[in-house]
Structure 1
């Protein structure tokens, strides 16, 4: 539960921080900040994600004691990549030193520092989760978020330039690691230098296909925002960025929190019970993911107009609802790929199909950019992204769910979730365009209550049993 609590905290503060930065920086600077942030995410994905994924797959409480070379290999790989990134940031500053914080070199250096900080933080957070140390993970997330919230908001207010905000974002992540470095350490053991080469090859074989796919998915919004900036202006890119960021976080935050826990359960099942048990756990996990993420997508659509009027800065209203509404289906499909389909390829260590799916998505997105913007303007770019993500999802789903080694999903649970969400959507639709406060006050309790009742009655994805198990008193073992 600490993992879920940490992610709720992280999501809530990031959501509020994004709105504050949008207001303080203004549409044009926020558009530049959004482009740089997308670039930082791509850098983080390309440089560090293969190592973070390897940590979640190969590190555990047992490995921490019995196979210390796994942690040694991870630490040294992070150090080498991080030093290279710091050197590149310093070169960027030196080359464009005359322009100061307003220059492209400063923005590029800030982007690199943000990528470094996020990469190192995500790695240490993954280590805490792999050890099932929920208190450490919660503390790490809390410290980072407090530092980032205060520092980034202050930088946007006093320094008023994206380069400073990006730099503070990276520094806050690194400082949180320094503050909690003692509990994050492993027991001191001699370095097994002869195992480093084998360990790094294991990480690359497993992680590089996944990060190549993730880089493509991060490249898509970066490409789309750039196209909007070129065809319209940075302000329009800012409108698109805010809608994309808010929608993406609304649909993926819970999924990421679930994946942090559910995938580790599958890894532990393989470690103690074998591959078949791990694959069965992945199938059950997929049912839970659908049962919890699909109502989030429907509920977000229902409250979108009210959300715009209450929390979105005035300068972004209008385009926000347009872009967010068009992006919901694609971002939901992206969540399903990441949290329901990808894990089966990760457990099997056969991750190449994930790259192929990303390639299909990028090709469809690019084809859409050639046609749709001339027909629908900025909305066409949002449509192109959604079509690309939907195509990638269906391609990967076919690979996972067909053939002799197909993943067995709980189709009854998934159908029940879909039916319950349809009932919830139909019930909420008449209230979407009420006055904003009244719409939220009506839709939130009605949607949660209706879906919750249906889940409880039909025990969708076994969620009723999970809830009862949390509150069922533990009976002491009988005395001998």
Structure 2
């Protein structure tokens, strides 16, 4: 089931990710670093808002849907709560403008933050519902529609002279085009307060409230560097750093997220239906598949960074991006491992409050290191700070899980085989890393994939030889 659903999510999320790659190439050629920085700043603040006020509700839907199903109580409780949070954030935004408004924190700025935050959050709610229903194709339609229309509208508005504001409007419009039909079909455009379940929202709050702080601190690790760069350096530096981060996470972390989109609901169902032992065995399989996909992607992205930057980034962004990419790739790999391999143990055992400790430590370290390293090393210092923070988060979370829950069912043998296969691939690609151009990136990627598969077959990673022989026999 895992491989089938992962393949479906690879298609349904992979295509939007390809659009994301294309959009970065277009935006960095149409926008200046300062304009991209202004866009990235609004995006970062909206993301922080999502983590603080909306994500607990989305994660609760994903966790408890296998228990309750699509009942009127679930739908109305989630919907009414979401609208209530929207009203509260709008009131807080007005107070912010009244007491702290200035040239930068303007009504236009705050309006974009609110609209983007609401749009992102409701889109994520619909995607989470599709995941909980184990419907990857539904997920794919929403994700693809949002990515494609957001890119088309955003690019068009930039072209007609609206700059970063046009990009934001296009992205917001893309969100609502994608979720209009799911909203109408599943959530309806009316409110039924009689179906609002207070006991259910209390259960959601007990599960999700600790996650709110955890997610906020995770977002601080992810986004504080951009805000601190904006404060200590320039908006152009923010733009260069942000676009490099966006480009890199469209690769390694997105691949890990795709695997988790399929893996997490299956592990939850195993826990509900078959118990702890079956769920832990599923987690072990999930971790193997995550590394099998992500580790070669990370190695390939680092070694082929010159050609990737040359093809996908505007000239004003390239030289700095080459210095940042290796650090950001490692950070993305560590982030994905923590979120999708370590933290799943907290979710399985419903001990999400324990997640707070590692991210508190990591967030504090990240902020301190940003203020220390950025003045000394520029935006490269921010990337180093992020890697150190994620490493601390992984180690501390692993120790906490081991002693407070259970040892993580880590696939040591498969991990070593995946590492060896990746090293063989990277060693091969190193000889052709300096060849530039679209044709060469195709040749490099195909070469890397073939060498990695052959190495995996040689080392029998994840029992791949038996799987191949089984498929051959089935066809014969």
Could you list the per-position Cα deviations for residues 10-40 of structure 1 after superposition, in whole angstroms to 9, with x for gaps in the alignment? 2111222233223222111111111111111
Match of 1:478 in 2: none
Residue from 16, 20, 26 that aligns with 1:10: 16
When residues 139 and 207 of structure 1 are mapped into structure 2, their CA distance, relative to the original with a 3 A threshold, is same
When residues 281 and 221 of structure 1 are mapped into structure 2, their CA distance, relative to the original with a 3 A threshold, is closer
> Does the aligned pair in 2 maintain the 1:68–1:189 contact within 8 Å?
no
Residue from 33, 43, 53 that aligns with 1:37: 43
Q: Residue 165 of structure 1: SS of its match in structure 2?
A: helix
Report the alpha carbon displacement of residue 8 of structure 1 after superposing the two structures with TM.
0.5
> Does the aligned pair in 2 maintain the 1:209–1:352 contact within 8 Å?
yes
Which structure 2 residues correspond to residues 132-143 of structure 1 after superposition, within 5 A?
132-143=134-145
> Does the aligned pair in 2 maintain the 1:326–1:386 contact within 8 Å?
yes
Report the alpha carbon displacement of residue 465 of structure 1 after superposing the two structures with TM.
5.9
When residues 107 and 439 of structure 1 are mapped into structure 2, their CA distance, relative to the original with a 3 A threshold, is same
After TM superposition, the score normalised by the length of structure 1 is 0.89
Report the alpha carbon displacement of residue 388 of structure 1 after superposing the two structures with TM.
1.1
CA distance in 2, matches of 1:33, 1:144: 18
When residues 358 and 468 of structure 1 are mapped into structure 2, their CA distance, relative to the original with a 3 A threshold, is farther
CA distance in 2, matches of 1:416, 1:314: 39
Q: Does 1:51 align with 2:52?
A: no
Q: Does 1:63 align with 2:68?
A: yes
Q: Does 1:368 align with 2:373?
A: no
CA distance in 2, matches of 1:363, 1:96: 25
Q: Which moved more, 1:87-96 or 1:36-45?
A: 87-96
Could you list the per-position Cα deviations for residues 207-246 of structure 1 after superposition, in whole angstroms to 9, with x for gaps in the alignment? 2222322222222343212332333311111111111111
When residues 315 and 470 of structure 1 are mapped into structure 2, their CA distance, relative to the original with a 3 A threshold, is farther
Q: Does 1:81 align with 2:82?
A: no
Q: Which structure 1 segments of 5+ residues have no match? A: 476-480
CA distance in 2, matches of 1:294, 1:13: 22
Report the alpha carbon displacement of residue 130 of structure 1 after superposing the two structures with TM.
1.1
Per chain length, whose mean CA-contact separation is higher, i.e. which structure has more relative contact order (CA < 8 Å, sep 6+)?
Answer: 2
CA distance in 2, matches of 1:382, 1:327: 6
Which structure 2 residues correspond to residues 115-194 of structure 1 after superposition, within 5 A?
115-185=117-187
Match of 1:269 in 2: 270
CA distance in 1, matches of 2:284, 2:99: 52
CA distance in 1, matches of 2:212, 2:459: 38
Where does structure 1 differ by over 4 angstroms across 4 or more consecutive aligned residues?
86-99, 188-193, 436-439, 462-475
Match of 1:26 in 2: 32
Q: Which moved more, 1:366-375 or 1:40-49?
A: 366-375
Could you list the per-position Cα deviations for residues 413-471 of structure 1 after superposition, in whole angstroms to 9, with x for gaps in the alignment? 11111111122222222322234457524431221111111223444234566677788
Q: Residue 203 of structure 1: SS of its match in structure 2?
A: helix
Match of 1:329 in 2: 330
Match of 1:313 in 2: 314
> Does the aligned pair in 2 maintain the 1:117–1:172 contact within 8 Å?
no
When residues 243 and 317 of structure 1 are mapped into structure 2, their CA distance, relative to the original with a 3 A threshold, is same
CA distance in 1, matches of 2:107, 2:316: 29
Could you list the per-position Cα deviations for residues 175-232 of structure 1 after superposition, in whole angstroms to 9, with x for gaps in the alignment? 322233454359x998665x72221121122222223222222223432123323333
> Does the aligned pair in 2 maintain the 1:286–1:341 contact within 8 Å?
no
CA distance in 2, matches of 1:75, 1:273: 31
Could you list the per-position Cα deviations for residues 309-328 of structure 1 after superposition, in whole angstroms to 9, with x for gaps in the alignment? 12211111100111122222
Q: Which structure 2 segments of 5+ residues have no match? A: 1-6
CA distance in 1, matches of 2:46, 2:301: 27
Report the alpha carbon displacement of residue 411 of structure 1 after superposing the two structures with TM.
1.1
Match of 1:286 in 2: 287
CA distance in 2, matches of 1:133, 1:407: 28
- Paired residue total: 469
When residues 444 and 119 of structure 1 are mapped into structure 2, their CA distance, relative to the original with a 3 A threshold, is same
When residues 452 and 72 of structure 1 are mapped into structure 2, their CA distance, relative to the original with a 3 A threshold, is same
Q: Which moved more, 1:405-414 or 1:167-176?
A: 167-176
Could you list the per-position Cα deviations for residues 240-295 of structure 1 after superposition, in whole angstroms to 9, with x for gaps in the alignment? 11111111221111111111110111111122212332222112211211111111
> Root-mean-square deviation (CA), in Å?
3.0
> Does the aligned pair in 2 maintain the 1:302–1:425 contact within 8 Å?
yes
> Does the aligned pair in 2 maintain the 1:96–1:104 contact within 8 Å?
no
CA distance in 2, matches of 1:15, 1:383: 24
When residues 76 and 383 of structure 1 are mapped into structure 2, their CA distance, relative to the original with a 3 A threshold, is same
